[in-house]
Each structure stands twice: as C-alpha cells, then as structure tokens.
Amino acid sequence: MRGAAARRSCFIALMLLVPARAVAWPVDWIHDVEAGKEKFVKLPRVDWFEIDDPKVLAVEWVAESKELLLIGLKPGRATVLLGAEGKVAAWRVRVSSPPQNDAALLTAAQKACPDLKLTPLEETKLTVTVGTENCRKALLSLFQTDAFEARFFDLTFEGTVLQNQLKSVQEGLQQVTKGRVRARYAGAGLILDGKVTVAEHRKVLWEVLKRTLGRFALDDQMELPPEPAVDAGTDQPR
C-alpha cells in the first residue's frame, strides 16, 4: 500500500484474468498511466505477476483492498503477465505513451487474409480465417500494436496453420526448458506438460505470448513446486 495520499485514478470492478486461457497476442487489456503517477485497478485476486520492462513500470498487489497498483516510472510501454488460480492474462501498460497503431500493418493483414472483416461498432471488431502462414504472421505483427484487445475479435484457424504455430511454440519451449516441457493441440486447445521451476513456468508463458496468435483454451499440466500465494518479484522474465 502506498498510503492514503496515493491518488486512486481508476477502479475497475471486473474480473480481468480470463479463465482457461493462454496468453497470446493481442493483450487482454490496455491501461494508461502517467509517468510519476499511479493507477489502481480492482481485481478479485492476483497470485503472481511479471513485467517485461520494470524500468518503465512498477506493479504492487494491495491484498487488503484487492487492487493492483500500476506505478509509472518513465515514459514507455510495458507488458505485464498476471496469474491467479490457474488463470493468466496479459496487459499492456502505456506510461505517458501514445497509442501505437500502424496502418501499413493493417493493410498487410488485409492483403494476407482476404476474408478479414472489420466492424468497429460491433462487439466483435475483427473477424478472420487464418488460412495461411503469411496471414498468421501478418496478424501476429498487427496484434502487437494497440489496434485490438483480445476480447474484440473472432479467429478461425486452418489445421495446417495451427501446426506451424505449434512448431514455433515448441522451438521456444526447447530454448527455455531443453525439452522438459511438451506442447500439443487437442482441437484448438494448447496442452503443456512437463516438470519446471517457477521461473521456467513464467518463461514458458512468455514464450506462448510471443509466438501465438489469438486466445486458446490452455490445459496447463506443467508440474512445479509450491510457491507463496503472492510473488511480488518484478525481474524481467527473459
């Protein structure tokens, strides 16, 4: 807790950690905070979190009030992974940083994915069939901008594209765990199993985020040792 003088700029009484999902581009939510200021986000629970750039952003879990405190340190952008009760979410936090959208990336995605449909005024703002590897790669680049959040699109995958994506995930897991974690799909669900340390578990989730498109049901069967309810470490996971 930062004290009574801390300015509570935002309360969001929503469950932002989505059940049975694996992190993937795009992020689940985008938050803004000014450098040198703080933002509180109401959450039911947080068991752990990690930040990819702790020089830009600091994060604290306030258990008493069930709030996540985002502290802007310097202008820039940071991605935060959050976990609670087997649920995982990815947030982007912009610290005194404007939205990043790239019209050229959208044009490239529309060219690579012929049936891509945008409906900005509807709940589902993007619908597309990911039928080729070129389409998947174009969307992967587009979804790393601020153009979309995960809850606003509908993706349909061809089987061959999922296999290409699985190969990419397996390459990332090999780098992190040297073959101790295996990945496979059951339908559109990604299954991960193997014995890992807590640090390796986090790195595996970062690899899934980096290498996958859209959001899939995740069956996390990785075995890891018990850990405290709250992991307040903010070291870079990579």
Q: What's the pLDDT at 220?
A: 81
List residues bridging with 59 in a β-sheet: 70
Q: What's the pLDDT at 152?
A: 87
Q: What's the pLDDT at 150?
A: 86
For the chain, which residues make up each domain, given as ranges? 29-95, 103-157, 159-223
Give the helix, strand, coil percentages of the chain, each rounded to 5.
25, 35, 45
Burial 64-96 (b: 16+ CB within 10 A, else e): eeebbbbbbbeebbbbbbbbbeebbbbbbbbbe
Is residue 35 within 8 Å of 96, Cβ to Cβ? yes
Q: Do domains 29-95 and 159-223 have the same CATH topology?
A: no
Question: Own/partner pairs for 121-127, CB < 8 Å, 24+ apart?
Answer: 123/152, 124/152, 124/153, 124/154, 125/152, 125/153, 126/152, 126/153, 126/154, 127/153, 127/154, 127/155
Q: What's the pLDDT at 228?
A: 54
Q: What's the pLDDT at 216?
A: 64
State the architecture of 159-223 in CATH terms.
2-Layer Sandwich (3.30)
Query: What's the CA gap between 80 and 58, in Å, rounded?
Result: 10
Q: What is the pTM of this model?
A: 0.79
CATH superfamily placement of domain 29-95: Immunoglobulins (2.60.40.10)
pLDDT in tens, the chain (238 residues): 444 333 333 332 233 343 334 467 899 899 999 999 999 999 999 999 999 999 999 999 999 999 999 999 999 999 999 988 877 889 999 999 999 999 999 999 999 999 999 998 877 789 999 999 999 999 999 999 998 888 888 899 998 999 999 999 999 999 999 999 999 988 768 899 999 999 999 999 999 999 999 876 678 889 988 755 555 454 444 4
Host H or E run for residue 108: helix 103-112
Closest CA to 116 of 104, 105, 101, 106: 106
Is residue 199 within 8 Å of 171, Cβ to Cβ? no
